[in-house]
A and B are shown apart, each in its own frame.
Chain A
Amino acid sequence: MNGSFPRALLPGLAAIVLGVLFLALLLTFESQWSVGALLAGGAAVVFIASRAGLLSRAATSFDTHEPVMAGATILALLVLAAWFAEDHFPLLMLSTVLLMVTSCLGLTVQFGFAGMVNFAGAAFFGLGAYTAAVLVRYTHLPHLLSLPAGGLAAGILGSVLIWPMLRTKGHYSAVVTIAFAILFKTFLEVNDTLGGAQGMKIRNIVVFGWKPNQDIEIGSLELSHYLIYFLAALALAAVAFVFCRRLERSWIGLSMDAVRIDETAAACFGLDVRRWKIVAFTWGNVLAGMAGALYALMVGYVAPNNFTFGDSLILVSIVLLGGIGNVWGVMVAAALMILLPEKLQAIQEYRFLLYAVLVMLILLFRPQGLLPRPLRRYLPGGAGR
């Protein structure tokens, strides 16, 4: 923090401004040609920037001034939301991206830090969503409570899975989560109390006597009701981000890294492998569950087809694309993976196929992800590298 302060910040801030500008244009453009041209332009800018070494300078400023960058990102997203305050669709999309980011941060803690693969991310997301739906529909609890309840339900059911997860290793524990993901969706499809394959609608949400699912009118200004959900999703994602970042920097994160890299060695050094696995798994599931609960309240219905094994695979792909364990990379990857198929109708139908091929190519040619996780730094400001 000396004379070079603003200079070091510049590339990072420029990246945020450009990124948000890109998002704004992407959400505004309607015709397929303009969306395509925008994507080509964005790819060209990224390519030229990486050739000119600007990308690594932006990465450095994110690395060294992270609180400033995080604040700037939140501010930029708020400006974006204010710009779209009257439109439903862009706000819905942005909120969905933020909720996906939250779930993927959970997966990052499980997969990227503690090395526990979870192929049931969408199932825990759906668990939170269904918990919220059931609470709103069948009980008289305050509706706001359904958010923590969703996280709690996911955490508790996750702790049932933790027993087989701890006893198994590698592929075997991956299969436990795959079996759970399929079990969950099959169960929802055949259970009539939960609405079967059609799912259920959630109506008439009331928070402190106020109905967040109605548009907000302030004088002549009519704001989309999704604005409230956007703010809630942003708050959730920001809290999750701060927690994950602190966790990563702390001795807990260090323990998790050790557990991931070599369980036997970690145990030899006196680390309680089981404890850190339980912490990572439960924390990740709670995040996914809370994101799911908010998602259910936002879209107003839940159905098994939103929480399939394929969706779990998409979540894992986002984590992988972002660079396993890189929390900033997760945001970029989530935004691209969620928004592109929505805006480019040409690829909407083919999105699962495209993602699958993309992930296969990345695994073959760049297995550390598009934005690899940087090395752990022990002191702020670049020392200790």
Chain B
Amino acid sequence: MDVGLLSQYLANGVMLGLMYALVAVGFTLFFGVLDVIKFSHGDVAMVGAFAGFATYGGLQAAGVHNPVIQMLGVVLVSVAAMAILGALIARYLIVPLRGAPALNTLLITLMLGTALRESVRLFFPDGANPKPFPRLLPAGSLEFGQFTLRADSAILLAAGIAVIAAVHLLINRTKLGLAIRAVAQDEETARSMGINFSLIVLVTFALGSGVGAFAGVMNGLYYNEINFGMGLLLGVSGFAAAIVGGLGNIYGAILGGFLFAGLQTIGAVAMPFASAYKDVFAFGAVILIMAIRPTGLIPEKNSERV
């Protein structure tokens, strides 16, 4: 196998890992504050991609053809809309079920994911078919010997890393982040310290969903295609990444994202005769990892008190 092809795989794997990490960060945030798994997260990312697509269509119709403005508009509208959607989901579906068994929350968000998927399929104009996502990033590429780096990939990589770094700084360096961490650690103590619990929960869900929407738009820009079913796979992969890293730990989510993407890429490289099986391989690996390390590679810290 030549260096060029290998570097292609590497670039592809890193890009996938970044997307998974972005989705996994959302799962980790939600699990941190409310101990819930919001399985509709991948579908929220998908709706984010469609919102971006619709924004692009709207800007085209309005006569705005500057790619930079279009790009900014797509990202801003998508992230903002999904942040609002995420907060609404938390307010009306997840918080009311706090007293119920944890599986009810899992089930309601699974169903919400189905509802979002089906709504896009049925109600988005021609939503049942894949949509060509516009190429808004510069098309040039840099050559290093056999290694070709596409400019759009480089920009996406940089942007994705910047978003992760920003989330990291927000969580660890700001007062809001301190409040989120406090709520995640102990709800009652956080409340007694004067933290507005409900507000922090909503903000956390908005933050996670916004980051998820960014991952959705990134996915669209990278593959130049979006479809209504992409959220399920993105969500399960991101969730697998979060689980593998250990839920409730933001570094674990990032590690898990790259690990999961690495597994998929290795699956594709090691078995070129069976590249179609790369998802089978990846999900098999997830089941195996969960069997060996039941609460992920970086386990949750607290133990159950009886």
Residues of A within 8 A of B (CB): 117, 119, 161, 163-164, 167-172, 174-176, 178-180, 182-183, 186-187, 190, 264, 309-310, 313, 316-317, 320, 349-350, 352-353, 355-357, 359-360, 363-364, 367
A356 close to B93 (CB less than 8 A):
no
Say whether, besides A172-B243, A176-B290, A363 and B232 are in contact (CB < 8 Å): no
Considering only residues 63-92 of chain B, those with a C-beta below 8 Å from chain A are none
- The answer to whether the Cβ of B201 comes within 8 Å of any Cβ in the partner chain is no
Bound Cα distance A176, B244 (Å):
12
Contacts of A186 in B (CB 8 A): 279-280, 283
A350 close to B93 (CB less than 8 A):
no
Bound Cα distance A186, B288 (Å):
17
Considering only residues 153-183 of chain B, those with a C-beta below 8 Å from chain A are none
Interface residues on chain B, size class: 35 or more
- The answer to whether the Cβ of B132 comes within 8 Å of any Cβ in the partner chain is no
Contacts of B284 in A (CB 8 A): 183
A171 close to B102 (CB less than 8 A):
yes
A356 close to B107 (CB less than 8 A):
no
The listed residue with most B CB atoms (<10 A of its CB), out of A161, A171, A350, is A171
Contacts of A117 in B (CB 8 A): 103, 106
Considering only residues 254-306 of chain B, those with a C-beta below 8 Å from chain A are 276-277, 279-280, 283-284, 286-288, 290-291, 294-295, 304, 306
15 contacts between A and B (CB under 8 A): A175-B290, A176-B287, A179-B240, A179-B283, A190-B276, A190-B277, A353-B115, A356-B118, A357-B111, A357-B115, A360-B108, A360-B115, A363-B107, A364-B93, A364-B108
B286 close to A310 (CB less than 8 A):
no
Contacts of A359 in B (CB 8 A): 107-108, 111
Say whether, besides A170-B102, A175-B240, A360 and B93 are in contact (CB < 8 Å): yes
Closest-CB distance, B92 to chain A (whole angstroms): 8
B287 close to A187 (CB less than 8 A):
no
Closest-CB distance, A377 to chain B (whole angstroms): 24
Secondary structure at the A interface, as helix, strand, loop or mixed, is helix
- The answer to whether the Cβ of B239 comes within 8 Å of any Cβ in the partner chain is yes
Contacts of A163 in B (CB 8 A): 291
Bound Cα distance A117, B104 (Å):
11
Task: Count A-B contacts at CB 8 Å.
Answer: 115
Closest-CB distance, A333 to chain B (whole angstroms): 15
B107 close to A320 (CB less than 8 A):
yes
Considering only residues 89-144 of chain B, those with a C-beta below 8 Å from chain A are 93, 96-97, 100, 102-104, 106-108, 110-112, 114-115, 117-119, 122
Bound Cα distance A119, B37 (Å):
15
Closest-CB distance, A253 to chain B (whole angstroms): 20
Q: A117-B103, A170-B103, A359-B111 are in contact. List 19 more A-B contacts (CB 8 A).
A: A161-B287, A168-B290, A168-B291, A172-B243, A175-B239, A179-B286, A179-B287, A180-B283, A264-B304, A264-B306, A313-B110, A349-B122, A353-B114, A356-B111, A356-B114, A360-B93, A360-B111, A364-B108, A367-B104
Contacts of B277 in A (CB 8 A): 187, 190
Bound Cα distance A167, B286 (Å):
14
Bound Cα distance A352, B118 (Å):
7
B236 close to A182 (CB less than 8 A):
yes
Bound Cα distance A353, B236 (Å):
20
A350 close to B114 (CB less than 8 A):
no
Chain B residue, CB-CB nearest to A268? B306
Contacts of A357 in B (CB 8 A): 111, 115
Contacts of B286 in A (CB 8 A): 175, 179
Closest-CB distance, A65 to chain B (whole angstroms): 33
